[in-house]
Amino acid sequence: MQTDPKPRTLYVVGTPIGNLEDITFRAVRILQTVDIIAAEDTRHTGKLLQHFQVKTPQVSYHEHNRTSRIPELLEHLVNNKAIALVSDAGMPGISDPGYELVKACIEAGIAVVPIPGASAAITALSAAGLPTDRFVFEGFLPAKSQQRQEHLESLQTESRTLVFYESPHRLRDTLQDLALVWGSDRQIVLGRELTKLYEEFWRGTIAEAIAHYNQREPQGEYTLVVAGIPASQPQLTEEELKAELKQLISQGISRSQASRQLAKFTSLPRRQLYQLALSIVLTPEL
């Protein structure tokens, strides 16, 4: 029996990530019958609503107005209104400020009801051909290279499959940083324009992805699915790591180079190994 929408309820509504046919019957019904739709971009959502002949009024709710908008939306909810929260694509709260409104509603005793829908991360993961039993969703990586490399180093020992979002204008830089920090032979799948007319999956190593996109201009939004390190990756003690570093340094390379080289072999963070390298006292040859 259909009893929703209910007053004093926030509905978290999944919308298509590209193909409009991916919206659910329930999602359309909720959008038609709530009092207000809180949309990330009202112009973008307006096209979806027009397609499905939904005439419910919209208000904007996004990264730049969330502080002032949350109290307004809570006031409507307290006054027995039902609100649907939508993002531009996919499930609200995934790489957008939707979770802050959800959190505020929970703290205020407002019911929160999810209306499941498409998600680019799960869509890409399901077709990637990499392990799906355990995975990590990391959203968008930092825009600046140094911060991006530091974040990737923190994930260097992750054995689960990793999922990222990336924009076309940063894709090449991100691939270069992946190769620098994780090595170039890691398996990667790039899902582009998922569920849309030009949907494409590209599969190979990070090195092959770099070569591919050096010859082709990245276009569309990307979801990156990257293999974790093998479970059989060797785990060395601190003393064994120091011994390996000392051996590498004795061959005439710098402590920084030795740390980077060992990081690729062990999948340990380069900065952690560099600190170990700095603690090594080298005995001068007689």
CA torsion sign, 177 to 153 to 275 to 284?
negative
pLDDT 10s digits, 250-272: 888 888 888 888 887 776 777 77
Give the pLDDT confidence score for residue 286 in this predicted structure: 42
Q: How many whole angstroms separate alpha carbon 260 and alpha carbon 279? A: 16
Which CATH number does the domain 9-118 belong to among 3.90.70.10, 3.40.1010.10, 3.30.70.2740, 3.40.50.300?
3.40.1010.10
Report whether pLDDT(1) > 60: no
Give the pLDDT confidence score for residue 268 in this predicted structure: 74
pLDDT 10s digits, 66-87: 999 999 999 999 999 999 999 9
- What's the chain's average pLDDT? 92
Superfamily of domain 121-226: Tetrapyrrole methylase, C-terminal domain (3.30.950.10)
Query: Mean pLDDT across the stretch 7-27?
Result: 97
pTM: 0.82
CA angle 90, 97, 126 (to 5 degrees): 30
Q: How many whole angstroms separate alpha carbon 102 and alpha carbon 92? A: 10
Interhelix angle 255-266/238-249, rounded to 10 degrees, is: 130
Quick one: what percent of the chain has pLDDT higher than 90? 73
At 196 the three-state DSSP class reads coil
pLDDT 10s digits, 29-71: 999 999 999 999 999 999 999 999 999 999 999 999 999 999 9
Give the pLDDT confidence score for residue 265 in this predicted structure: 74
Which residue ranges make up each domain of the chain?
A: 9-118, 121-226, 238-279
Give the pLDDT confidence score for residue 192 in this predicted structure: 97
Query: Mean pLDDT across the stretch 181-207?
Result: 95
Residues 6+ away with beta carbon under 8 Å from 188:
178, 203, 204, 205, 206, 209, 224, 225, 226, 227
Give the pLDDT confidence score for residue 196 in this predicted structure: 95
Contact criterion met (CB below 8 Å) for 82 and 6: yes
Q: Which residue's entry shows tokens 């694509």?
A: 89
Whole-angstrom CA distances from 195 to 89, 169, 178, 198 are 11, 21, 26, 8
